[in-house]
Structure 1
Amino acid sequence: MSYIDEVMERVVAKNPGEAEFHQAVKEVLDSLRLVVEANEEEYRKNGLLERLVEPERVISFRVPWVDDQGRVQVNRGFRVQFNSAIGPYKGGLRFHPSVNQGIIKFLGFEQCFKNSLTGLPIGGGKGGADFDPKGKSDREVMAFCQSFMTELNKYIGADTDVPAGDIGVGAREIGFLFGQYKRIRGVYEGVLTGKGLTYGGSLARTEATGYGLIYLLDEMLKQNGKELAGKTVVVSGSGNVAIYATQKATQLGAKVVALSDSNGWIYDANGINLDVVREIKEVRRGRIKEYADAVPSSEYHEGKGIWSVKCDIALPCATQNELNLDDVKTLVANGCFAVAEGANMPTTREATEYLLENKIMFAPGKAANAGGVATSALEMTQNSMRLSWTFEEVDKKLQEIMVGIFSKMADAAKRYGVEGNYVAGANIAGFEKVVMAMNAQGIV
């Protein structure tokens, strides 16, 4: 049995029931076979892969809080500090009922390679809780965030672990978390990113993941003899990533015709009116079906099915494993020639393989959605320097980073004889930097 297969077997045995974590590890290790087999004896002797797939630290804790009816509620919080070989742990916090240890480990593992690809000195981590902020009052969200940070503050710091937002954690939640950290620790430092502009946040951070997705997509198309202008795009989700991906794609001449949320999806043949979406989602915190009321020429469809819309480019920006084999078969049959992941692992393993087999340009999430964490690292830099850069300065650095990420993954794929396979390229490029740092630091 090969070294990779041995390690994969151990991962499954030691982490029972953590399907998303197993999936993420298998996808990465399979694409690293070419690299590992060339150095198998050395990697095996140093237990390199065993150390790579085992988090440095997993923290799980109780989060009690009081709701508006005066009842005590209890949730479970997590922080997985996966790998600090290239810098302090960096990765978002997710507040969603689906959160469990396996999902946080999968996200933390992916984050190691994503952060490595940015070229910035940040390690991999992730955290969250099975708390649902939907339908909660501001006071309830504050109560939860303060309780969550009362425990989490023991394990984080500006040079140790710097969390950010993710699903369910936006500007409101980051503000409450930062306030509680400052109150308990008595220090004012860049311990969280995604902060408000009045207290250390960075311009362009809100837009960063969506903008970065389009910058990398645009570069991928250019390097393959195509362009974004004039293309029809379908975007799943209607949160932060989807909204700003839609905005930037539209600015670059594409037409986005569909968005979704967990209840259903909208189709607007004239192109999505982003002002309407932002009013619904960012101001009212409403549901995407309200778009059809505001734009009578559009259609609302309950449930799944957004990938049945004919398009040139598909951007899954909602959640993990949302794009399955049947979906991608439909996309390919309808003429889709490029897919770029705005969410974390939104495409199933079978669907990814089908896209690669059919020569569809495919940008994996650890590369395509790295713009958010890249700009978070730029926020950390500004905090350390006590500076605030202009929107244009941050946006320019973001674009340079995303173009650089595409170059790294394209080059790595070419070097190992799998040119055009950006999944393998992203994994190899991210892996090489982390492994060099781990080897340099000894057995830790």
Structure 2
Amino acid sequence: MYEKPTINRVDFAMASKYGSPLKTQKVRSEIDGVSVHDLVNKYGSPLFVFSERIIEEKYHEFKNAFTSRYPEVEFWWSYKTNYLDAICKIYHKLGSKAEVVSEFEYEKARRLGIEGKNIIFNGPYKPKDALKKAVEEGAKIHIDHWYEINDLEEIAEELGIEIPVAIRCNMDTGVYPQWSRFGFNIDNGEAYDAVKRIYEGKKLYLTGLHSHIGTFMLSANAYANETKKLIELKNKIEKDFGYEIEYIDVGGGFASKNRLKGVYQAPEVIVPSADEYAEAITNAIFETNKGKLPKLYLETGRALIDEAGFLLTTVFAAKRMPDGKKSYIVDAGVNLLYTAFWYNFEIALDKRYEGLNEPSQINGPLCMNIDVISENIMLPPLKRGSVLSIWPVGAYNVTQSMQFIRYRPRIILIDKNSNTHLIKEADDLNYIVEKEIIPDYLKG
């Protein structure tokens, strides 16, 4: 197809040790030995793809980093990060328990066979009936606010039991903005006051302390500060109230090898390793703790799953923008990649293409101006049918994806033997309208 030629200014300062941006092409023709074209031909496009091999490698990387440094470590899979049944099953098979932040996620974990005692129930909104069920089934309740203390005391009275609980804490760890919305503040004494309130109420007793200081945390030292403050609070609580704190839960938030927008260093440079996170946290415990060592809980999500997820998308059309930039329209949009607003994903081609790269952008299929997967990317001339792979997209994109304008696609898993398995069927009209009801007066 003829296209009117244009002249675009190319900034050669973009060149690196890998060569000129005019010639550099990132190619991913297969995932775990399976051709991206074979995947699209069999399952359609767009298509989420998960690698069991990468899931296991990342899990063992983090597990070894922590268990080699600390005697009692437990991993609790963060359901909100990716609650596909097959994905959760893999983590439970590897040894992770479940961490949930809603009654929906709690029910999902129970449906997958996870006992209440192996579920942490977190979050600022726990309806009382869901809270009561979790208590009856022995789940670990992490209290977020004063109202929840009242609710739990009423449940304790109804059931005639004393309920073991933990409290969630927030604090200044040197990273801003602080996640001060959740839990009780340690720095101003609120967390201590909450423990005192629990102690005086005589219906609950404290067994754990929890904090989750943020997401995509690029500072291992922030975890050292968090852990030190949790342990200092533990020491004071045990001395003043006689509680034995069985565990501290340092949450999650460990970063993956993704690229935050506005950060120009490579992930390999700025993202701490599992060993660096583990060293910071465990050293802080050993240096600060008095008395018996607590168990260490980790609610690891993003760092374990993000790099195991790919999204395959196909070029549908191309057009020239008024500023001369080339726009490629693909069949995956921000309805599937909500995190595209925060991350510059790695985008790879299915093969090497002839021709020089030029400034381009990748737009999804939505009739929305915000549907931009990549705003500035150097790409060679691509044809309709070219397959692009977007990575890493394993964290939050599936759980936050929405049925908007386009149906959500199939999701597959590639096992360690390079066999492919459909783990979620695509949406269709029946699925979308299943819960809709037309009033009688509008029928006919």
Q: Which has the higher helix share?
A: 1
TM-score by length of 2: 0.28
Question: Which is bigger in relative contact order (C-alpha 8 A, separation at least 6)?
Answer: 2
- Structure with larger Rg: 2
